[in-house]
Chains A and B, each alone.
Chain A
Amino acid sequence: QVQLVQSGAEVKKPGASVKVSCETSGYAFTDYYMHWIRQAPGQGLEWVGWINPKTGDTKYAQRFQDRVTMTRAASNSTAYMELSSLTSDDTAVYFCATIDYWGQGTVVTVSS
């Protein structure tokens, strides 16, 4: 069955960076774009961007354009999202998703 398993919770200080991984199995990793979506506490869903696992091409939401980097390792069917210059507003659960399937989410807490 399809599985997207994300890395564990992170606590970061303002100004730091965080890198979240999303290990996939059960489907052809390079056949589906991987999206990253976040959900601030008690809030709705916000799209961060996508990566084409086949080519490495990326597209980011404008508000994250200058501080997000999405990469992938086809060899182990894993996608990564790195977000830099963190502020308390980045405190959220971050999900990887193929539209059809979602990871379990990674809690990122930014606090001094």
Chain B
Amino acid sequence: EIVMTQTPLSLSVTPGQPASISCKSTQSLLESDGRTYLHWYLQKPGQSPHLLIYDLSHRFSGVPERFSGSGSGTDFTLKISRVEAEDVGVYYCMQSKEVPLTFGGGTKVEIK
């Protein structure tokens, strides 16, 4: 199975400052159809995860422009250009190129 590794485990950010989360996969997530099947989710405390970025770099409906996804092949990054208080929670990357679908271990973001 494809193993997803996220770093860091946690992040403490001052509001208005940028934040960056890394995710690495043990196999390329680029499919022959040209899509990269890497997605980013945020799970706020007490809630179910919600989609932020799909297919590597596409912001989901309603997601603020301060969130962006980048990378290629096996190395991926989620960036928040200016962190806001509402961005606290645990961020997960997930691959859907192959079954079993697999997730990174999560990055907990808190506000300083």
Contacts and interface: CB of A to CB of B under 8 A. Distances in A.
A59 B103 CA distance: 17
B51 A44 contact: no
A104 B50 CA distance: 10
A44 B103 contact: yes
Nearest to A2: B61
Interface stretch (B69-77, B81-89, B94-102): B94-102
A95 B49 CA distance: 9
Contacts of B54: 99-100
A100 B51 contact: yes
A102 B105 contact: no
Contacts of A97: 49
Nearest to B37: A99
Interface residues of A, number: 19
Contacts of A95: 48-49
Nearest to A100: B51
B48 A102 contact: yes
A22 B29 CA distance: 29
Chain B: interface size category: 10 to 19
A61 B48 contact: no
A100 B39 CA distance: 10
Given A50-B99, A59-B99, A44 B50 contact: no
B60 A44 contact: no
Contacts of B106: 44-45
Contacts of A105: 48
Candidate in A45, A47, A104 with the most chain B CB atoms within 10 angstroms: A45
Contacts of B60: 100
Nearest to B102: A47
A62 interface: yes
Nearest to A103: B48
A99 B103 contact: no
Interface of A: 35, 37, 44-47, 50, 59, 61-62, 95, 97, 99-105
Interface of B: 39, 48-51, 54, 60, 92, 94, 96, 99-106
